[in-house]
Structure 1
């Protein structure tokens, strides 16, 4: 049974060998379709165990019967392999040191010698080298491997062969040969299991040869090959983790031997950045730190930050820089590093805007520590600069010591305060809801104040007091805002002073609202009320002052007195005069009877009553206004406002037509205040009263006195004219003429009133039947208008036209009165002379352009021509003419008279045509009548009345 089993195994091996080496003549057996269905073996049948000896005996048996050389070679190779396996088992089980592989070595050497050119000789050499190596015969093993590498560079075993050679070279210190051998392994490709180790050792070989930069390329390839997707070597396990750690360690050594971080940057500018790029700087920094090279460690981290400012890892490197400075005890570098961190990664940095919230949260952890440290450092430094030396000499010495003049010291102090303020603001911006923020804002306000940045200080104080409502610093911040605003009011230019005054008021009102229990609140609110009043904010001033008067517990007397006074002034300006009176009386109650300000307040009481009267008057209640005005006299008798009140009361009594009361107040006023300026106006008002009472003579006599005694020439002039009018009205014509005449002769100006006076005189002289004196003033009127020039008015032109018409009528009457008698030549000459004078007079009237008198003048001119024509026809005839001569004389008269009649018709027609433009007065009408007489055929026609029947046909 054993023989049959071995024979079957040999056949199977032979068959497999023939198939592996591609013998095309071997029968391949049935196809898949021809096979019987598969059956499971009987589990009761036991398969015998086969040992190496059994297998070897089978191969040897096969060798005895094999005739094919190739088959025999393969069997021998298998037998060598079995010998190799037996040797390994024996070596493992041995307890003594000796050779175990001589048999295998002999067999492999024999096979190699017999079959040098065969394709699998590389495998035989590899096995031979392995046998030598396992037997401790290193040199023989190396020689075989060298031969294998030299003769079979394309062998599938070349990678392992070269790797073994490289390992030997490296251990011998032949780093150049090791580098070459490792390179040969790498050349096989990444599929080789020795690739990664070869890369790593290739770098070490270069490192050992001091070829540092070249080694970095190899080590980079190692890291590239094992870098996980997330780029974090810590996520690797086992050998790869160890390989990554060792590689990073040796690379950090290389960088430290070269130019440190600068070398990393330069190398990877050529190779390109890697996901693990930052870890190179990290390991280098750690290496320096382990060696206590603190500056080099910090510079490494700084170098990374400078070259990769927006990297996610830059903040961590900056933090580590600070920690290195702390470990190395570099206090002068810690503060600038923290400043750089905040500026580089703070909320106002470009970096902050580029990153998402997770990174920002990490940054906040450090910002929350660094920013307050920076702020407090600069705040303390500024305070130290502010501390004044005890003596001026000491100050000079200190300044000289530090190289600063007092002015420079002050400038530096303020700038340092501003720096501290900037850091406080940075904290507030970064942590707006942090519990420390109110205190930070308060400290920022303090630094702004010390730096004399008062507007910014006020803003910050207000935030603490009224936005955060901070219990600890709120009252002090609110009060400080008021003080700072006051300083600005005192030093600001005029154009901005009002802005800060309003800001102070707002803060004072807020202080009283939010911190009413503070003992400073009443005084602050009182100042606010006064300031509001000064700004014209009367409603707000009154409201603020009222709060002081109602304050509980009651405010100090001085504050309440001021508050009542503010209320009084505010209510007065708001025209709430009755309330103002109450406020002023409240002030009087709080004033000492001998207080010098008492008289002023009493006057304010009187003014309030006076204004209340004015309001009654505005409401249309004059009677009530009079009562209020007369009440002023009782409040402050003899005061200026009381005098004015009585005077106004008299005026309103006049308006109410309560003449008796008005006359009584006016006469009383004049009697009590004869020297007052208003007394001078009393006569004029009495004139009005007397006129209303129809006491014309009293009115005129009063005015006559004014016209003589009033110091104002204008008043005297007006009084004289008004007296004349009143005398005229009282029918004292002689006194009226005397007054008008005095006015016309005394006051040529104003021109229009002077002309009126002259016109009145001509009227009065007409009524008094004194034509000569009337003509005198008519001529004065004409002459006055002619000389007026630019002062000439429509009224003066009218009066002049009227006067000219009156004077022309006299000329016309003179023309009419001249008869035409024999000798006709002489009388006709006189008649024509009168004609020319009359025409000239009426022509002058036409020049005035006053329609009323122009139509009259035209009518008169027409009548002049018509009258001359008719007078010619009606003139005396010579008595010694015969009938023929008389007839011829008549014809001559008609020839002389006809042109004048034609001229008369022409002028009357022109005058009549004015009716076409809508002007139809008595003189136009008379022209129509004259035309009817002169041309009856044309102008003396009756209307034709057309009768019609209402009968319907």
Structure 2
């Protein structure tokens, strides 16, 4: 019995399987059907889908009435031509309307047998007034209906050979290829389908041809499977180009799509499995249908009981496409495959791999609801499994990673705390118990809270930790427990213990409380107040409460200034001023960190009022400017930086203002001023050119071309040979921009061309610029060549003209060497025109005056002999350009070559083209 499909696998199938159940396409639409589940025992017996052509547009009048009249005409006429024409029209009406009008299928077979001799007679006499391609097509159909299949194919091949431009040719080619396929001539069938794809077949028949070509390649054996794979994958690309199409694939293509997946999976399974898929997909653009292909291969193995191979396919997909949304479902499917196989340990390992792959927040968040549920179920299973086995570390890791993603977070954190406690990790156990008790309430929150208190009490005996910290933690835990859970008989002993220990130890917060009590006592002496304010200031500053610290430091300063005897040393006042300035500075830092720019700048500037000219005051001024920069208050920052540079020209921080000004100018949309700042800095720099080049880039950004071009020219005049590809690109870019600006164009083009030709580094841009320069120079040389008139003495002017032609040829060939196919059409055209122009000018050249009539005639004949090879060469080059249409497409230079060819050889090239439409005929014998 085949294994059941898992939920994950059902998802990967998307809507394609359901699509196969949809009813047949509507009447009058192009479609085909698939017969699946009827393959043979071997690969060779496997069959493709069955293609069926149907009809298209409706006529404007009643098809039945028109058919009745043509049927009557057919039955009443004795003229073969009339009867054939009436029969053709009946077929066209039926095909266009999609209705069963005219003769029935049984009648039609007999009628075609009856008129077949008339077809042959008309064809032999050549007297048919209609289209002969339609006649051949109808003859082929008549032979097919009468069972003469080879004669039908012969007529179709005759149609193809005699009328290659006929709109009936694509279907004819398809039917010939079908005949080869049916006869087992798979290589010939492949060639036929490929020829149809390379032609101008419409989209619908081209799609069917690609599908049948894939089957033809498959039938040739494993040696042709790579070609078959490419055909089927191209078909999937065509019909499933984006993820939305997976949910609703084209109705007429669903069976063909499903069959393509099936045969691709079969080929992969019979070759190298997932490695074959990896190899076939390598180098292709990512496609939305790839997960389905891997899933079909895994399903195929699972259906055959090859669970290990099925899992290997899933893992290969997850390795190759780790960020694909389907990777999670594939890995979950592996768990189910191992469960089907009865391998419990492999299923556990698969769960572990799944949890590890999606453990990070980013990977987990990207999962959908069912996938997240899988991750949670697997994590809890693994955590409980390791807990039962007393593998505490692994169990705790799984519990902790699961806790914040589960609904019962508190319960899971309690288990994690217990596991950490068992392995002696007290800090981690304490954190887990406290979260379980107070942050994520659960049924055992009281036990979690008391477990945390128990850990803190045990830590009091550990003298490696300061006693005050242990006491603070335990006191906080006691107060927290009391507030959360109320009175408890266990608290009495804890509080008695705490009272004794606080008596032996000191604590900052307790000191702060006592200091506040001292200050509240009216009878406190100035010295006591002074000491209390110092304690308060130090505690507040240590806690980061800088506003309160500033207030306390000011109170202490007032006392020491009013009553000097309270001071402990002579420099108390200076120390207090330093601390006061530091408290203000820290407030500025805090405000800056919170994004409160105005407050931060005001505090930075206040420092100078406490200790003017001091190091901290100068730094505060500098930091004020930096804060404005971070807040993008560019103009104010620029003003502050310039003031700082004026006020403290010798300070070490002043050297940093120039670069900050450049940044501020750039960010405020003043690139020219930024460039000016750089140019000023370059004047005193030991290596000015790196700075000047930055300025040039800013001038370019601002559109200040004269300033930019001046720097470009200066740098190119002294620049060393490029040391790497980056240097080469930089210099070529400058030359190109000079060319685009019209600066020394011809010279820069020649230099750019020479540098690119000599360089070992190229990029698409530099090659294109070189090609453009070569084309421009070649065009100019061609114009100079064309302007040279061939006058007497001919030897002199001809030599000049040939030299100009060679120069133009050199430039054009250089352009082709740089840009290749992109410019080949233009190069071929221009080279051909050089030869054509030379031939034309040679024929029109001045005849020496001293020649008599006979000599003149002989002289002109000699010119013709010289000009003829040149015209032949021109035609050959233009013809080469014409031939490029098939490979490269049509462009303006090919068009101009065709115009030139039409003028040089009108009998061959000056023709009118006629386009004809094509309506598909029924494929009853497909």
TM-score, normalisation: structure 1 = 0.43
Larger Rg: 1
Greater relative CO, 1 or 2 (CA 8 Å, sep 6+): 2
TM-score, normalisation: structure 2 = 0.44
